[in-house]
């Protein structure tokens, strides 16, 4: 257990991840209300929207209105997602409000690359070269390599650690070509294939290959193992996690309608705090935001803590 981090860095993706998949429409004011409430819980990284084609993701047709509308809290990095030059241009309009960094986004499964992006792996590498050059030309640092479907794929099956390493090598080659300094690797369990042993194998292989890199996990709770997988990652020293309040979200292109979304932020916080790992988050406040999110979307969310409450609440009663 000596690799356990003393603290973790949580990247909250509930607004972006959640509202992209809800049938909606979710009012702009409610999206803003959720973003502002999340910033009051102690979270320091909040992904607020996607600048994407509204015909493909109608839930983010109001992305510009949301970013313009929320009141930014000092000390919080607000981020956004985009996939092409048009999305970058829309994000750049809010450069004074958003924390903009670029990413080389790849997939360990070619089948999912075709399903998600309608590209081959080679075509996606070329697209990432162009996007990296575009980011750098606009003064946006490219600091991250993300690998989707890093633990398995509904369209291709099992993904080996060697496939993940090979995909990352492609990403680092692009970074080197354009002089980008990569500071973080993100491994995504996009379709919920990970189990603790898979986490250990993949993270171990990646860490042994790039020991100087920070590794983050983007976990989905599709099959109920997200907390177990987070625990496995923590034991290996992973100190950065993407999560969503209430368990909002899910990938609309994963081929599994109704599947659970990301690991719930409040469940991740509870796990860490009970293990003595600092998060800087007020868990009771976060649970209330999860309840707010459930009211906004109008249906039950996966988080157990929304309904059970925190342990501290019961500790206070018992004291």
Active site residues: 251
**Which tokens hold the place of 5?**
């981090």
User: Residue 310 contacts by C-beta under 8 Å, 6 or more apart in sequence?
Assistant: 266, 270, 283, 284, 287
**48: helix, coil or strand?**
strand
**Which tokens hold the place of 117?**
């992006």
**Which tokens hold the place of 135?**
């980011």
**45: helix, coil or strand?**
strand
DSSP line for 182-213: --EEEEEETTS---HHHHHHHHHHHHHH-TTS
Of 135, 107, 129, 130, nearest to 119 (Cα)? Answer: 107
CB 267 within 8 A of CB 255: no
CB 202 within 8 A of CB 158: no
User: How distant is the alpha carbon of residue 306 from its chain centre?
Assistant: 20
DSSP line for 225-291: -HHHHHHHHHHTT--EEEEBGGG----TTSS-TT---BPBHHHHHHHHHHTT-B----HHHHHHHHH
| Direct distance between the N- and C-terminal alpha carbons of the chain, in angstroms, rounded to an integer | 31
**Which tokens hold the place of 94?**
């809010």
């Amino acid at each position: 257990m000596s690799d356990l981090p003393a603290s973790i860095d949580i990247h909250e993706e509930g607004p972006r991840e959640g509202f992209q998949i809800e049938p909606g429409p979710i009012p702009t004011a409610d999206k803003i209300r959720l973003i502002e409430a999340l910033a009051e819980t102690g979270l320091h990284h909040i992904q607020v929207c996607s600048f994407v084609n509204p015909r493909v993701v109608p839930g983010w047709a109001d992305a510009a209105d949301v970013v313009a509308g929320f009141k930014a809290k000092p000390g919080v990095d607000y981020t956004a997602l985009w996939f092409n030059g048009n999305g970058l241009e829309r994000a750049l309009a809010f450069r004074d409000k958003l924390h903009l960094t670029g990413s080389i986004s790849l997939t360990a499964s070619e089948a999912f690359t075709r399903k998600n992006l309608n590209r081959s792996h080679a075509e996606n590498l070329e697209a990432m070269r162009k996007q990296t050059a575009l980011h750098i030309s606009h003064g946006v640092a490219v600091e991250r390599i993300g690998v989707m479907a890093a633990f398995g794929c509904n369209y291709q099956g099992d993904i080996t650690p060697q496939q993940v390493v090979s995909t990352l090598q492609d990403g680092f080659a692009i970074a080197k070509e354009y002089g980008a300094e990569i500071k973080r690797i993100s491994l995504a369990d996009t379709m919920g294939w990970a189990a603790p042993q898979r986490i250990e194998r993949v993270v171990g292989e990646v860490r042994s290959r790039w020991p100087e890199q920070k590794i983050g996990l983007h976990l989905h709770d599709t099959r109920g193992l997200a907390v177990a997988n987070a625990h496995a990652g923590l034991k290996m020293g992973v100190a950065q996690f993407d999560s969503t309040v209430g368990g909002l979200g899910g990938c609309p292109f994963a081929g599994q309608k109704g599947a659970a979304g990301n690991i719930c932020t409040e469940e991740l916080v509870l796990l860490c705090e009970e293990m003595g790992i600092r998060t800087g988050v007020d868990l009771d406040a976060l649970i209330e935001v999860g309840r707010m999110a459930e009211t906004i979307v109008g249906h039950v969310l996966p988080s157990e803590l929304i309904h059970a409450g925190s342990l501290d609440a019961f500790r206070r009663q018992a004291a």
